[in-house]
Chains A and B, each alone.
Chain A
Amino acid sequence: GDSVTQMEGPVTLSEEAFLTINCTYTATGYPSLFWYVQYPGEGLQLLLKATKADDKGSNKGFEATYRKETTSFHLEKGSVQVSDSAVYFCALRGTGGGNKLTFGTGTQLKVEL
């Protein structure tokens, strides 16, 4: 079945550091890929998405590229801020119909001054 694997956290960075959160997936065909962010005490917010191979999703300085050859969708940001501290979830929507999202376990990011 479909699955998503994320790097374990917490990831602790200084403000303005470069961020990479790794995400790989297992699915048949060409799933759609997503990054969601969860701030403390809140629900999930869509950060970015990509629906086909080589697409790059971007939002608020975050980027991720859909790499079919490596089944990856790594999240990157060139310069993180304290306000980026949150839990980040990689997710996929498979090709089997319906609109079910399969999530990774999440990666907590802590950004310090």
Chain B
Amino acid sequence: ETGVTQSPTHLIKTRGQQVTLRCSSQSGHNTVSWYQQALGQGPQFIFQYYREEENGRGNFPPRFSGLQFPNYSSELNVNALELDDSALYLCASSPGGGDQETQYFGPGTRLLVL
């Protein structure tokens, strides 16, 4: 069984640019969540997708957007990058149904904004 995978592993962008991060959920999982983890902090919830629809959003501005595809993989898009967007971005998938609570995390994408 393949776990949650994310790409790329590292990324460097400049302020004002746009970035797309990708996540493949664990086999059989239909729910994907995205988190931002700043250095030395705990992860902060960005949003969640369930069966291709946004199903909850944290306190992040609209320039953070996402998609979920029919195979349940997902993208996180960030427009107009700011220096404070530098962080580790974590994707987590969960099975849905009766076991929505356990989230399985990918290794993350480390984004540096210069």
Residues in A lying within 8 Å of B, measured CB to CB: 4, 32, 36, 42-46, 49, 51, 89, 91, 93, 97-106
Contact = CB atoms under 8 A, between A and B. Distances in A.
A44 B105 contact: yes
Contact of A102 (B40, B45, B94): B45
Contacts, number: 62
B42 interface: yes
Interface residues of B, number: 27
Interface of B: 4, 6, 31, 33, 35, 40-45, 48, 55-56, 58, 90, 92, 94, 100-108
Q: List the 10 shortest-distance A-B pairs measured between CB atoms, nearest first.
A: A103-B42, A98-B56, A44-B105, A43-B105, A43-B107, A100-B45, A43-B108, A99-B100, A105-B42, A103-B43
30 contacts: A4-B42, A42-B108, A43-B6, A43-B107, A44-B90, A44-B105, A46-B103, A49-B101, A49-B102, A51-B101, A91-B42, A93-B101, A97-B56, A98-B48, A99-B33, A99-B55, A99-B56, A99-B94, A99-B100, A99-B101, A99-B103, A101-B33, A101-B35, A101-B43, A101-B92, A101-B103, A102-B45, A103-B43, A103-B44, A106-B42
